[in-house]
């Protein structure tokens, strides 16, 4: 099939000033689609070239027009006042929303099979697009919005298969607790699970956190380059899976889980995350900051041992359900069903 893919992000490491977490798996997913025989065309701006100076045009196809397509896929975008709601050409303007609207009008509203991947849970449950027979919505959530399909955050097979738990356990990990990611709607989780624990263990928070006055004791180190994420996790014993309420309530697990586990950084799962037990061993479920401290102190005691390696191995086993090849197969089925749905 000729698949048009709309995403406002990067295929390469990109730039520091972006929250684009999908870089962890986006290129691998597109590669998997093309290996399956499909032709994928990227429909948004070539940000790798325009902003990062990385020319990938000999590897991936980009098209700023309106080519003939069998299926169109959206990594869903939403209004961000002052950024993508301003006039084209104005200072600070991002054209992702305008382009998405253009693509919806040209393809989706004309009946072209459409997959909306709602990675940030921003598509309203009552949005008219959900009712269209040529549209399927996909979400990370284990308990998705009615009518939507669960597609777990995909872990590249090659990275998962190449990871050795015993080698990871032997790494020197000078930081006890880390969080890599931006603040967006995570204050409640952060306060309950991370900030209170940070008063008792060595830690670091890397990412864009602009409202930090409530936690003067926390070591916020600012944004880091995408290429640094793995290194930071490899130097830390544990992390906490901090989620916005709209994620935690439905079991929406992001790439932060596999980024940590593939680096041997043990993920602690807040007890209020729905279906959290599906993604980590029960012993890594935490109920508050005190529990986080106790888990970190346990990891300090076993660091570098066979027990430590066994725990990392268990975490890797939990990632198998998120394997990209499994998720790509679900996407394939969704597209096949759409192609066979009568207009």
- Look at residue 19 and tell me whether its pLDDT is greater than 90: no
| Residue 53 backbone zone (phi > 0: left; psi -120 to 50: alpha; other: beta) | left
Phi/psi at 327 (nearest 5 deg)? -70, -35
- Look at residue 285 and tell me whether its pLDDT is greater than 80: yes
What's the mean pLDDT in 46-68?
95
- Look at residue 343 and tell me whether its pLDDT is greater than 70: no
- In tens, the pLDDT along 171-218 reads 999 999 999 999 999 999 999 999 999 999 999 999 999 999 999 999
Cα–Cα separations (whole angstroms), residue 101 to 64, 74, 81: 13, 11, 16
Predicted pLDDT of residue 96: 93
Sign of CA dihedral 143, 323, 187, 217: positive
Confidence of residue 83 (pLDDT cuts 50, 70, 90): confident
pTM of the entire predicted model: 0.94
Query: Of all residues in the chain, what percent carry a pLDDT higher than 90?
Result: 91
- Look at residue 17 and tell me whether its pLDDT is greater than 90: no
- Look at residue 44 and tell me whether its pLDDT is greater than 90: yes
What's the mean pLDDT in 155-174?
96
Query: For residue 154, what is the DSSP state?
Result: P
> Largest Cα–Cα distance in the chain?
62
Of the candidates 43, 45, 41, 52, the one whose C-alpha atom is nearest the C-alpha of residue 94 is 45
- Cβ neighbors of 177 (< 8 A, separation 6 or more) are 194, 197, 198, 201, 202, 203, 204, 236, 237, 238, 239, 240, 292, 296
């Amino acid at each position: 099939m000729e698949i048009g893919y709309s995403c406002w992000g990067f295929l390469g490491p990109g730039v520091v000033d972006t929250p684009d977490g999908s870089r962890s798996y986006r290129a691998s997913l597109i590669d998997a689609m093309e290996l399956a025989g499909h032709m994928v065309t990227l429909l948004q701006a070539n940000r790798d070239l325009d902003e990062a100076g990385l020319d990938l045009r000999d590897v991936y196809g980009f098209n700023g027009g309106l080519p003939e397509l069998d299926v169109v896929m959206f990594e869903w975008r939403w209004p961000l006042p002052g950024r993508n709601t301003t006039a084209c050409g104005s200072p600070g303007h991002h054209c992702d929303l305008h382009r998405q609207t253009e693509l919806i009008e040209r393809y989706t509203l004309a009946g072209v099979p459409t997959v909306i991947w709602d990675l940030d849970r921003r598509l309203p449950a009552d949005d008219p697009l959900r009712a269209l027979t040529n549209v399927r919505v996909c979400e990370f959530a284990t308990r998705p919005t009615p009518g939507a399909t669960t597609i777990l955050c995909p872990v590249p097979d090659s990275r998962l298969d190449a990871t050795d738990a015993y080698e990871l356990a032997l790494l020197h990990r000078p930081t006890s607790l880390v969080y890599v990611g931006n603040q967006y709607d995570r204050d409640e989780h952060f306060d309950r699970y991370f900030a209170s624990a940070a008063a008792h263990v060595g830690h670091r928070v890397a990412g864009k956190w602009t409202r930090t006055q409530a936690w003067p004791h926390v070591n916020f180190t600012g944004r880091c380059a995408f290429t640094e994420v793995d290194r930071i996790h490899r130097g830390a014993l544990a992390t906490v899976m901090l989620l916005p309420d709209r994620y935690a309530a439905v079991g929406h697990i992001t790439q932060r889980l596999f980024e940590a586990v593939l680096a041997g950084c043990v993920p602690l799962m807040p007890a209020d995350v729905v279906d959290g037990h599906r993604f980590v061993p029960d012993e890594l479920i935490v109920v508050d900051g005190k529990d986080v401290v106790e888990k970190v102190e346990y990891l300090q005691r076993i660091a570098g041992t066979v027990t430590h390696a066994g725990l990392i191995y268990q975490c890797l086993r939990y990632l198998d359900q998120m394997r990209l090849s499994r998720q790509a197969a679900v996407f394939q089925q969704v597209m096949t069903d759409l192609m066979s749905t009568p207009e």
